[in-house]
Structure 1
Amino acid sequence: MKLVVQKFGGTSVATPKSREMVLKHVIRTKREGYSPVVVVSAIGRRGDPYATDTLLSLLEEVGGEVPARERDLLMSCGEIISAALVAALLNAKGHPAKAFTGGQAGIITDDRFGNAAIKEIKTDVLIDAVKQGYIPVVAGFQGITENGDITTLGRGGSDTTAVALGAALGAECVDIFTDVEGIMTADPRIVKGAHILDTVTYREVTEMAYNGARVIHPKAVEIAMQRNIPVRVRSTFSDSPGTLITCGPERLITGIAHIPHLAQICIKVPSDDRSVEVRIFRMLADAGISIDLINLFPDLKVFTIKEELVEKAVGVLEGIGVIPEVVRGLAKVTVVGAGMRGVPGVMARIIEALEGENIEILQTSDSHTTISCLVRDEDAERAITALHKKFEL
């Protein structure tokens, strides 16, 4: 029994025409001698009747805080609708299929509603369905606690569902179908010369995803890497093989990723008062504010947050007697390359590229596989294009 997990995103199941393309891929895989296990996202995006964001908008008329358990129950509905619909369409085409919620598919999670972690997957039900000749169609993004409560896995949860199922089932590979041809060297809407990467390593694509390349969720890639499962990112709307994510040789530079709409927070503190530093980061964490591009000096703390969280962060900081300096309208542009570790000259080439475009670098941060530069939003596209050209991507 050769299993292949196929995940289809919201745009893939949004219209009758796109759903026909989904059926085409699934049926072709079956005819090629594989047993497909299908994972689906909610239909469409915000504004579409059953999209997750549309369902969440129903809660806006509710006064006060909605309990997390009930919120997850509502959020899980979009994927269930997709699963039932795709299973019905496969049956109508003469290919027996069964729809499953995440819980029915055996996905057991902890009880962190809204961002649950998968604890185990009981595969008996899905394997029995395949042996009986059915194509299982699983609602992504969700699971169930040991007490029977429905949970959701956080943004990108359908990718996580697909890869976790692939690992549990011992699948030959996991195909992530989306509305792009594969993983590209940069955003093609910004860089005309951006092109599809035939292959990338798990580490390379994880860094690209964490730094703004929204093709596959990094949590899903990490699961695939741990279990060494090949993952392909493909387009629902073509027969292109897409990008294969697997082990392999790592490039010096793989691509350029970016995250717009950030704000820089600068805080001057007495160098002899370490307790201020502790209070700053503890209070921000308790308020649920994630920080990035962190540079700490004895008398200065600098970091970035999402621009939409500025007012909340300023309120938290002023509440402990700290007055921050805030610069809005910024973007993080990141050069990703798992092969850059120990190679001299990468930072020099980045500075040369940005200096050549007269782009000011407000802050930097680096790891073994990335170098990030904070620039102004209006400079971001020129920065991405210049770096793409500098590294001959």
Structure 2
Amino acid sequence: MSLIVQKFGGTSVADVEKIRAAARKAIRAQRQGNRVVMVVSAMGKNTDRLLELAAEVGPNPPAREMDMLLSTGEQVSVALVAMAIHELGSEAVSLTGGQIGMQTDSSFSKARIRSINTERINRLLDDGKIVVAAGFQGIDNDLNITTLGRGGSDTTAVALAAVLKADSCEIYTDVDGVYTTDPRLLPEARRVDVISYDEMLELASLGASVMHNRSIEFAKKFGVPIHVRSSFSDTEGTMIVTEQESSSAPVSGAAMTPDEARVTVLGVPDVPGKSLQIFSAIAEKKIAVDMVVQNVGDGGKADVSFTVQRKELATTLATLAPVVDAIGAEALTHDDQVSKVSVVGANMVQQAAVASRMFRALAQADVNIHMITTSEIKISALVPRDQAIDALRAVHTAFSLHEKPSDAKSWSEIKADRAAGVEVETLVSRLRDDALEALTLTGISVVEDQARVTLFGVPDRPGIAADMFEKIGAAGISVDMIVQGYNGEEGSTSVSFTVDEDALEPSLKVAKQIAAAHAMRGVQGGGNIAKVTVSGIGLRSHTHVATLLFETLAADEINVQMIGTSELQVTAVIDSEAAVRAKIGLERVFAESLAK
């Protein structure tokens, strides 16, 4: 008998009638021959009301007591849903997070799942009951109630589906699937039938509100198919699986993260260990850093820029103020009037000119680019906040995301491929049962025979990036990593990119032509560099990863020339002669996290 986990968000159980509708869906699934586990969020705005009550009592409530308070919202919901199932003629049992055996660490308000004891759930399912589990919560070793943070019910549902080896995990919400971008911002957004775990991980980290990134991490690790569906209709929805919808479309989605802040440490001495001091201080405060750009040093100095959530800016600046003096940097600057616009696509790495196409779309919309970072499946640009919607619309249109790709596959076609013997790899056999949400690395790699080109004094105005990378593409040069950072020069910035070493000379030739055409300050380039990359699941939420990377390199006196980050990778550009030493050191430091 198959097992289905169904998750119902707050809007799906917002009132008694919606609770009855959710109960009917579970009963229907059971009568179709499935064993059913429901995961339920707090009703509607209940959590917001609890937060307001806490604020009325005092401005700084203890984190433990906040978890005790907020967990009550889900306990109300599960009891009412179980009652509704009984009234409709079936049997159900409601369980809190502790009662379903969800063991977490003691990080109140942002706890991580360590293990789930499924004995009680399986016993109830064997007795023919529908299990109604409270999302968002668990217990630590001292039986304290803990909560999993934003999106916690999604994480509960997918984690249960993983350990129960469920056939699928259905996420019922107020939208009917995953869209190419937020349809509330762009009505022309298109619902996709299928999206890959990697694409969804990047989109979730960029603010796509349908699913939380920690839940996608679980799904990717354990190969859990996620079916995002509407609570209010029978629309097919979207499947989140290993495969992607199209094998040719370079971009599958676009996202805009509105509330970003840019922080730059100017004039950092370009010697080993300085990045470590910056990012270890931030990691100690559990601040998640996103776009990280360390551009090539000029005159023995480098500039390190990164973004944080706008609400974390004050804490970040206070944390870094003493660090700036300690490392001998020149200044600390910031800008809280920026947003991030990104495009994501699993096929991006196989196709040229994706970056220049995005930059040209932004230029035509007269949107200026403050920072650029790229990875194998994502390109992000930091733009002025008041131009963010225009920027999102421009890139969505440029990649025709409103149109279904001609080779798009439906979930039924993908299932047919699987039935025909197409292998789907998961990490499930490689993970320890007592560390379900631990950092999981899929590899540490080194790419040698690389070269780097940097343009200094790049005019800070719309269209420059588009012109640069269109000219580079027209010369037949394939660009890999692109970083544009903020360097404090009035009206200008610097842009670096990496290429294969045998493309260095033609790249420098084109770069000098570009520099002359736009009156840039100069061009610098060099070979004998390598990219060392740490890849895995949970890199951004485990804030110590970048710290360990920099710490390991600094211990071996290896200088970092460039940095690039994404949800799935952290990459550092270093001297080739240090590549093997760096790989050995990182494999030693991350030994416990590497999937065997």
Structure 1 runs not aligned, ≥5 long:
46-50
Distance in 2, matches of 1:275 and 1:164, equals 38
Q: CA deviation at 1:184?
A: 0.2
Match of 2:13 in 1: 13
With normalisation by structure 1, the TM-score equals 0.93
Contact residue 250 and residue 338 of structure 1 kept, 8 A: no
1:58-116 per-position Cα deviation (integer Å, ceiling 9, x unaligned): 33244574333322222211111110111011111111111000111121222222222
Q: CA deviation at 1:178?
A: 0.6
Match of 1:29 in 2: 29
Distance in 2, matches of 1:107 and 1:357, equals 49
Q: Larger deviation: 172-181 or 306-315?
A: 306-315
Structure 2 runs not aligned, ≥5 long:
402-596
Query: Is 1:318 equivalent to 2:321 in the alignment?
Result: yes
Q: Counterpart of 2:203 in structure 1: which amino acid?
A: M
Match of 2:338 in 1: 330
Contact residue 369 and residue 381 of structure 2 kept, 8 A: yes
Match of 2:280 in 1: 282
Match of 2:304 in 1: 301
Query: Is 1:152 equivalent to 2:160 in the alignment?
Result: no
Query: How do 1:55-204 and structure 2 match up within 5 A?
Result: 55-63=50-58, 65-204=60-199
Q: CA deviation at 1:226?
A: 1.6
Q: Aligned-pair RMSD on alpha carbons?
A: 1.9
Q: 1:173 to 1:277 in 2, by over 3 A?
A: closer
Query: Is 1:205 equivalent to 2:200 in the alignment?
Result: yes
1:113-163 per-position Cα deviation (integer Å, ceiling 9, x unaligned): 222222222112111112222111000011122332221122111111111
Q: Larger deviation: 95-104 or 281-290?
A: 281-290
Q: CA deviation at 1:391?
A: 0.8
Alignment length (residue pairs): 388
Query: Is 1:367 equivalent to 2:378 in the alignment?
Result: no
SS at match of 2:161: helix
Q: CA deviation at 1:249?
A: 4.1
Q: 1:110 to 1:256 in 2, by over 3 A?
A: same
1:151-196 per-position Cα deviation (integer Å, ceiling 9, x unaligned): 1122111111111111121211000011001000011122232111
Contact residue 90 and residue 96 of structure 1 kept, 8 A: yes
Distance in 1, matches of 2:228 and 2:212, equals 11
Q: 1:270 to 1:68 in 2, by over 3 A?
A: closer
Match of 1:376 in 2: 384
Contact residue 354 and residue 383 of structure 1 kept, 8 A: yes
1:234-290 per-position Cα deviation (integer Å, ceiling 9, x unaligned): 110111110011122464211001110212122212535766544433333333433
Q: 1:237 to 1:280 in 2, by over 3 A?
A: same
SS at match of 2:283: helix
Contact residue 4 and residue 36 of structure 1 kept, 8 A: yes
Q: 1:284 to 1:117 in 2, by over 3 A?
A: closer
Query: How do 1:351-362 and structure 2 match up within 5 A?
Result: 351-362=359-370
Q: CA deviation at 1:222?
A: 1.6
Q: CA deviation at 1:369?
A: 0.9
Q: Counterpart of 1:295 in structure 2: which amino acid?
A: V
Q: CA deviation at 1:291?
A: 2.1
SS at match of 1:76: helix
Distance in 1, matches of 2:285 and 2:181, equals 33
Q: CA deviation at 1:332?
A: 0.6
Q: 1:12 to 1:267 in 2, by over 3 A?
A: same
Query: Is 1:391 equivalent to 2:399 in the alignment?
Result: yes
Query: Is 1:247 equivalent to 2:255 in the alignment?
Result: no
Q: Counterpart of 2:259 in structure 1: which amino acid?
A: H
Q: Larger deviation: 68-77 or 101-110?
A: 68-77
Distance in 1, matches of 2:267 and 2:15, equals 55
Distance in 2, matches of 1:103 and 1:275, equals 43
Distance in 2, matches of 1:286 and 1:33, equals 49
With normalisation by structure 2, the TM-score equals 0.62
Match of 1:218 in 2: 213
Q: Counterpart of 2:388 in structure 1: which amino acid?
A: A
Contact residue 250 and residue 339 of structure 1 kept, 8 A: no
Match of 2:415 in 1: none
Who wins on radius of gyration, i.e. which is larger? 2
SS at match of 1:283: helix
Distance in 2, matches of 1:198 and 1:372, equals 24
Contact residue 269 and residue 276 of structure 1 kept, 8 A: no
Q: 1:288 to 1:105 in 2, by over 3 A?
A: closer
Distance in 2, matches of 1:272 and 1:230, equals 46
SS at match of 1:102: coil
Distance in 1, matches of 2:321 and 2:57, equals 30
Q: CA deviation at 1:23?
A: 2.1
Contact residue 29 and residue 36 of structure 1 kept, 8 A: yes
Q: 1:276 to 1:201 in 2, by over 3 A?
A: closer
Q: CA deviation at 1:230?
A: 1.1
Contact residue 250 and residue 337 of structure 1 kept, 8 A: no
Query: How do 1:338-349 and structure 2 match up within 5 A?
Result: 338-349=346-357
1:342-386 per-position Cα deviation (integer Å, ceiling 9, x unaligned): 421100100111111111111111111100011111211111111
Q: 1:213 to 1:308 in 2, by over 3 A?
A: same
Q: Larger deviation: 369-378 or 288-297?
A: 288-297
Q: Larger deviation: 340-349 or 58-67?
A: 58-67
